[in-house]
Amino acid sequence: MPTSLSGGRPVIEAIVSMSHIDNGNPQPANLPRRVTTKTLQKMRSDGIAISMLTAYDYPTAEALDSAGVDVLLVGDSLAMVVQGHETTLPVTMDQMLYHAEMVGRAAKRSMVVVDLPFPEGQLEINRSVEASARVLKETKCHAVKLEGGAEQANRIEAIVTAGIPVMAHVGLRPQSVHVEGGYRIQRQTDKLLADAIAAERAGAFCVLIECVPTEIGRAITDAVSVPTIGIGAGHHVSGQVLVTHDMIGFNSGYLPKFVKQFSDVRGAITQAAQEYCQAIRTGQFPGKEESFE
Ligand code: KIV
Protein backbone atom coordinates (compact mmCIF):
# COMPACT_ATOMS: atom_id res chain seq x y z
CA MET A 1 0.00 0.00 0.00
CA PRO A 2 1.53 3.36 -0.97
CA THR A 3 2.09 5.56 2.04
CA SER A 4 4.40 8.30 0.87
CA LEU A 5 2.94 11.74 0.24
CA SER A 6 3.45 12.16 -3.48
CA GLY A 7 5.98 9.58 -4.53
CA GLY A 8 7.86 12.43 -6.19
CA ARG A 9 4.91 13.45 -8.39
CA PRO A 10 4.41 17.18 -8.84
CA VAL A 11 1.42 18.55 -6.93
CA ILE A 12 -0.23 19.93 -10.08
CA GLU A 13 -0.29 16.42 -11.58
CA ALA A 14 -2.01 15.16 -8.45
CA ILE A 15 -4.71 17.83 -8.77
CA VAL A 16 -5.34 17.05 -12.43
CA SER A 17 -5.44 13.29 -11.76
CA MET A 18 -7.90 13.87 -8.91
CA SER A 19 -10.52 15.23 -11.28
CA HIS A 20 -10.52 11.84 -13.01
CA ILE A 21 -11.12 9.61 -10.03
CA ASP A 22 -14.26 10.85 -8.32
CA ASN A 23 -16.29 7.82 -7.22
CA GLY A 24 -13.95 5.68 -9.28
CA ASN A 25 -15.46 6.94 -12.55
CA PRO A 26 -13.49 8.91 -15.14
CA GLN A 27 -14.48 12.59 -15.07
CA PRO A 28 -13.80 15.44 -17.50
CA ALA A 29 -10.69 17.17 -16.15
CA ASN A 30 -12.22 20.68 -16.28
CA LEU A 31 -15.33 19.90 -14.20
CA PRO A 32 -15.06 20.48 -10.47
CA ARG A 33 -16.26 17.34 -8.74
CA ARG A 34 -16.89 17.32 -5.02
CA VAL A 35 -14.17 15.64 -2.99
CA THR A 36 -15.76 13.07 -0.69
CA THR A 37 -14.60 10.51 1.86
CA LYS A 38 -14.50 8.00 -1.02
CA THR A 39 -12.31 10.32 -3.12
CA LEU A 40 -9.81 10.64 -0.27
CA GLN A 41 -9.73 6.87 0.24
CA LYS A 42 -9.07 6.39 -3.47
CA MET A 43 -6.37 9.05 -3.41
CA ARG A 44 -4.61 7.12 -0.65
CA SER A 45 -4.91 3.85 -2.59
CA ASP A 46 -3.60 5.49 -5.77
CA GLY A 47 -0.75 7.26 -3.96
CA ILE A 48 -2.07 10.75 -4.80
CA ALA A 49 -1.16 13.26 -2.11
CA ILE A 50 -4.09 14.94 -0.34
CA SER A 51 -3.89 18.70 0.27
CA MET A 52 -5.73 20.32 3.18
CA LEU A 53 -5.69 23.89 4.52
CA THR A 54 -7.69 25.81 7.09
CA ALA A 55 -10.32 28.35 6.01
CA TYR A 56 -12.50 30.56 8.17
CA ASP A 57 -14.24 32.93 5.72
CA TYR A 58 -15.89 33.09 2.28
CA PRO A 59 -13.18 34.77 0.13
CA THR A 60 -10.34 32.65 1.52
CA ALA A 61 -12.36 29.45 1.10
CA GLU A 62 -13.27 30.45 -2.46
CA ALA A 63 -9.60 31.07 -3.33
CA LEU A 64 -8.41 27.80 -1.77
CA ASP A 65 -11.23 25.83 -3.37
CA SER A 66 -10.47 27.16 -6.84
CA ALA A 67 -6.74 26.56 -6.29
CA GLY A 68 -7.53 22.85 -6.00
CA VAL A 69 -7.13 22.27 -2.26
CA ASP A 70 -8.82 18.92 -1.61
CA VAL A 71 -10.02 19.50 1.96
CA LEU A 72 -10.79 22.75 3.80
CA LEU A 73 -10.73 22.67 7.58
CA VAL A 74 -12.71 25.16 9.61
CA GLY A 75 -10.24 24.61 12.43
CA ASP A 76 -10.64 25.72 16.02
CA SER A 77 -7.27 27.38 15.32
CA LEU A 78 -9.50 30.28 14.34
CA ALA A 79 -9.49 31.12 18.07
CA MET A 80 -5.78 31.89 17.72
CA VAL A 81 -5.28 33.16 14.16
CA VAL A 82 -8.57 35.05 13.69
CA GLN A 83 -9.77 35.88 17.20
CA GLY A 84 -6.29 36.51 18.63
CA HIS A 85 -6.49 34.16 21.64
CA GLU A 86 -3.47 32.31 23.07
CA THR A 87 -5.03 28.83 22.72
CA THR A 88 -7.81 27.16 20.72
CA LEU A 89 -9.96 26.81 23.84
CA PRO A 90 -12.12 29.98 23.81
CA VAL A 91 -13.90 29.56 20.45
CA THR A 92 -17.54 28.48 20.86
CA MET A 93 -19.74 26.12 18.86
CA ASP A 94 -21.88 29.02 17.64
CA GLN A 95 -18.77 30.87 16.46
CA MET A 96 -17.52 27.75 14.66
CA LEU A 97 -20.88 27.43 12.91
CA TYR A 98 -20.83 31.10 11.90
CA HIS A 99 -17.49 30.57 10.12
CA ALA A 100 -18.35 27.09 8.80
CA GLU A 101 -21.47 28.45 7.11
CA MET A 102 -19.37 30.90 5.04
CA VAL A 103 -16.75 28.31 4.14
CA GLY A 104 -19.35 25.67 3.26
CA ARG A 105 -21.08 28.07 0.85
CA ALA A 106 -17.81 29.05 -0.83
CA ALA A 107 -16.44 25.56 -1.42
CA LYS A 108 -17.59 24.08 -4.72
CA ARG A 109 -15.12 21.18 -4.97
CA SER A 110 -13.28 20.88 -1.66
CA MET A 111 -14.62 18.68 1.09
CA VAL A 112 -15.16 20.85 4.20
CA VAL A 113 -14.40 19.51 7.68
CA VAL A 114 -15.32 21.42 10.85
CA ASP A 115 -13.58 21.09 14.22
CA LEU A 116 -15.68 20.28 17.27
CA PRO A 117 -14.48 23.05 19.60
CA PHE A 118 -13.64 22.47 23.27
CA PRO A 119 -15.56 21.00 25.11
CA GLU A 120 -18.08 19.69 22.53
CA GLY A 121 -15.93 16.59 22.00
CA GLN A 122 -15.25 16.04 25.71
CA LEU A 123 -18.68 16.12 27.44
CA GLU A 124 -21.55 13.61 27.01
CA ILE A 125 -21.49 11.67 23.76
CA ASN A 126 -25.02 12.81 22.86
CA ARG A 127 -23.87 16.39 23.07
CA SER A 128 -21.11 15.64 20.52
CA VAL A 129 -23.63 13.98 18.21
CA GLU A 130 -25.93 17.01 18.48
CA ALA A 131 -23.08 19.46 17.86
CA SER A 132 -21.91 17.42 14.84
CA ALA A 133 -25.45 17.27 13.49
CA ARG A 134 -25.64 21.08 13.67
CA VAL A 135 -22.61 21.23 11.38
CA LEU A 136 -24.39 19.21 8.69
CA LYS A 137 -27.78 20.83 9.25
CA GLU A 138 -26.81 24.51 9.56
CA THR A 139 -23.85 24.69 7.15
CA LYS A 140 -23.00 23.13 3.81
CA CYS A 141 -19.97 21.40 5.37
CA HIS A 142 -19.47 17.67 5.18
CA ALA A 143 -17.69 16.24 8.23
CA VAL A 144 -16.38 16.98 11.72
CA LYS A 145 -12.96 16.61 13.30
CA LEU A 146 -12.50 15.45 16.86
CA GLU A 147 -9.35 15.40 19.01
CA GLY A 148 -8.48 11.99 20.49
CA GLY A 149 -8.17 8.32 19.57
CA ALA A 150 -8.75 5.27 21.74
CA GLU A 151 -10.63 7.10 24.51
CA GLN A 152 -12.87 8.72 21.88
CA ALA A 153 -13.79 5.48 20.08
CA ASN A 154 -17.36 5.30 21.45
CA ARG A 155 -17.94 8.96 20.60
CA ILE A 156 -16.60 8.55 17.05
CA GLU A 157 -18.81 5.50 16.56
CA ALA A 158 -21.91 7.35 17.79
CA ILE A 159 -21.30 10.33 15.47
CA VAL A 160 -20.60 8.11 12.45
CA THR A 161 -23.69 6.03 13.26
CA ALA A 162 -25.68 9.27 13.08
CA GLY A 163 -24.46 9.63 9.49
CA ILE A 164 -21.74 12.20 10.10
CA PRO A 165 -18.21 11.50 8.82
CA VAL A 166 -15.50 11.91 11.48
CA MET A 167 -11.83 12.80 11.04
CA ALA A 168 -9.88 11.77 14.14
CA HIS A 169 -7.03 14.00 15.39
CA VAL A 170 -4.20 12.15 17.16
CA GLY A 171 -0.73 13.13 18.33
CA LEU A 172 -0.48 16.65 19.70
CA ARG A 173 -3.96 17.73 20.82
CA PRO A 174 -4.10 21.50 21.18
CA GLN A 175 -7.30 21.31 23.28
CA SER A 176 -5.29 19.45 25.97
CA VAL A 177 -2.54 22.10 26.11
CA HIS A 178 -2.97 22.69 29.85
CA VAL A 179 -2.79 18.96 30.70
CA GLU A 180 0.32 18.60 28.54
CA GLY A 181 1.88 21.80 29.89
CA GLY A 182 2.54 23.15 26.38
CA TYR A 183 2.69 22.12 22.74
CA ARG A 184 5.14 19.20 22.53
CA ILE A 185 6.30 16.65 19.96
CA GLN A 186 4.50 13.36 20.70
CA ARG A 187 6.78 10.29 20.79
CA GLN A 188 4.83 7.46 22.50
CA THR A 189 4.65 5.15 19.49
CA ASP A 190 2.45 2.47 21.08
CA LYS A 191 -0.13 4.94 22.34
CA LEU A 192 -0.21 6.84 19.04
CA LEU A 193 -0.67 3.61 17.06
CA ALA A 194 -3.41 2.44 19.44
CA ASP A 195 -5.19 5.80 19.06
CA ALA A 196 -5.14 5.73 15.26
CA ILE A 197 -6.20 2.07 15.05
CA ALA A 198 -9.05 2.61 17.54
CA ALA A 199 -10.24 5.66 15.60
CA GLU A 200 -10.28 3.71 12.33
CA ARG A 201 -12.12 0.77 13.96
CA ALA A 202 -14.69 3.21 15.36
CA GLY A 203 -15.41 4.41 11.83
CA ALA A 204 -13.23 7.50 11.32
CA PHE A 205 -12.74 8.11 7.58
CA CYS A 206 -9.35 9.75 8.09
CA VAL A 207 -6.76 10.26 10.82
CA LEU A 208 -5.01 13.61 11.24
CA ILE A 209 -1.61 13.25 12.94
CA GLU A 210 -0.09 16.31 14.60
CA CYS A 211 3.54 16.80 15.62
CA VAL A 212 5.16 13.37 15.69
CA PRO A 213 8.55 12.22 14.36
CA THR A 214 8.56 11.20 10.68
CA GLU A 215 8.95 7.50 11.49
CA ILE A 216 5.90 7.52 13.77
CA GLY A 217 3.91 9.25 11.00
CA ARG A 218 4.95 6.41 8.71
CA ALA A 219 4.15 3.70 11.29
CA ILE A 220 0.66 5.09 11.88
CA THR A 221 0.00 5.34 8.14
CA ASP A 222 1.13 1.75 7.67
CA ALA A 223 -1.05 0.60 10.58
CA VAL A 224 -4.34 2.00 9.25
CA SER A 225 -6.02 1.72 5.87
CA VAL A 226 -7.83 5.08 5.95
CA PRO A 227 -5.99 8.19 4.69
CA THR A 228 -3.69 9.98 7.14
CA ILE A 229 -3.13 13.75 7.03
CA GLY A 230 -0.01 15.07 8.71
CA ILE A 231 0.91 18.39 10.28
CA GLY A 232 4.46 18.12 11.51
CA ALA A 233 4.30 14.35 10.90
CA GLY A 234 6.76 14.01 8.02
CA HIS A 235 6.10 12.93 4.46
CA HIS A 236 5.16 9.24 4.83
CA VAL A 237 1.49 10.12 5.22
CA SER A 238 -1.39 10.39 2.74
CA GLY A 239 -1.55 14.18 2.79
CA GLN A 240 -0.61 17.42 4.53
CA VAL A 241 -2.46 20.19 6.35
CA LEU A 242 -1.28 23.61 7.51
CA VAL A 243 -2.98 26.59 9.07
CA THR A 244 -3.47 28.89 6.07
CA HIS A 245 -2.43 32.04 7.95
CA ASP A 246 0.92 30.37 8.75
CA MET A 247 1.35 29.09 5.19
CA ILE A 248 0.67 32.49 3.55
CA GLY A 249 2.64 34.54 6.09
CA PHE A 250 -0.33 36.32 7.67
CA ASN A 251 0.80 35.78 11.25
CA SER A 252 2.92 38.02 13.41
CA GLY A 253 3.77 35.44 16.07
CA TYR A 254 5.75 32.25 16.52
CA LEU A 255 5.90 29.79 13.59
CA PRO A 256 6.34 26.09 14.42
CA LYS A 257 9.23 24.24 12.70
CA PHE A 258 6.81 22.24 10.54
CA VAL A 259 5.41 25.34 8.80
CA LYS A 260 6.63 26.25 5.33
CA GLN A 261 5.74 29.85 4.46
CA PHE A 262 4.75 30.15 0.79
CA SER A 263 3.93 33.88 0.76
CA ASP A 264 4.24 37.10 2.77
CA VAL A 265 0.65 38.32 2.94
CA ARG A 266 1.22 40.32 6.13
CA GLY A 267 4.11 42.11 4.40
CA ALA A 268 1.96 42.78 1.32
CA ILE A 269 -0.92 44.17 3.45
CA THR A 270 1.45 46.36 5.48
CA GLN A 271 3.05 47.73 2.34
CA ALA A 272 -0.31 48.39 0.65
CA ALA A 273 -1.63 50.14 3.80
CA GLN A 274 1.50 52.29 4.08
CA GLU A 275 1.23 53.31 0.43
CA TYR A 276 -2.49 54.07 0.91
CA CYS A 277 -1.78 56.32 3.92
CA GLN A 278 1.00 58.05 2.03
CA ALA A 279 -1.25 58.61 -1.03
CA ILE A 280 -3.92 60.23 1.17
CA ARG A 281 -1.40 62.42 2.97
CA THR A 282 0.21 63.61 -0.26
CA GLY A 283 -3.13 64.20 -2.02
CA GLN A 284 -2.48 61.54 -4.66
CA PHE A 285 -5.62 59.63 -3.66
CA PRO A 286 -8.36 60.03 -4.68
CA GLY A 287 -7.28 61.23 -8.13
CA LYS A 288 -9.40 62.05 -11.16
CA GLU A 289 -9.79 58.32 -11.97
CA GLU A 290 -11.41 57.61 -8.62
CA SER A 291 -13.65 60.72 -8.62
CA PHE A 292 -17.06 61.53 -10.18
CA GLU A 293 -17.56 64.47 -12.58
O1 KIV B 1 -7.57 23.76 14.14
C2 KIV B 1 -6.69 23.51 13.30
O3 KIV B 1 -6.32 24.37 12.50
C4 KIV B 1 -6.10 22.18 13.31
C5 KIV B 1 -4.77 21.96 12.65
C6 KIV B 1 -4.30 20.60 12.88
C7 KIV B 1 -4.71 22.24 11.21
O8 KIV B 1 -6.67 21.30 13.85
Query: Of residues 14 and 111, which shows the higher confidence score?
Result: 111
pLDDT score at 14:
43
The model's pLDDT over 216-254, given as tens digits with 9 standing for 90+, comes to 999 999 999 999 999 999 999 999 999 999 999 998 888
pLDDT score at 31:
43
- 26 band by pLDDT with thresholds 50, 70 and 90: very low
What DSSP letter does each residue of 10-49 carry, written as one string?
Answer: -HHHHHHHHTT-GGGS---TTS-----HHHHHHHHHHTPP
pTM for this predicted structure: 0.90
Domain boundaries, the chain: 11-262, 265-293
Q: Over range 45-54, report the average pLDDT.
A: 97
pLDDT score at 8:
37
Query: Is the CB of 96 inside a 6 Å radius of any atom of ligand 1?
Result: no
In angstroms, the CA 263 to CA 256 distance is 16
pLDDT score at 152:
98
Among residues 120, 210, 215, 293, the one annotated as catalytic is: 210
- Cβ count near 112 (within 10 Å): 25
pLDDT score at 25:
42
Q: Which residue's C-alpha comes closest to atom 1 of ligand 1?
A: 75
CA of 184 to the centre of ligand 1 (A): 15
Q: Give the torsion through C-alpha atoms of 128, 99, 117, 121, to 10 deg.
A: 20
Query: Is the CB of 243 inside a 6 Å radius of any atom of ligand 1?
Result: yes
The one-letter amino acid at 50: I
Q: Which fold has domain 11-262?
A: TIM Barrel (3.20.20)
- 30 band by pLDDT with thresholds 50, 70 and 90: low
- Cβ count near 216 (within 10 Å): 23
The model's pLDDT over 178-189, given as tens digits with 9 standing for 90+, comes to 999 999 999 999
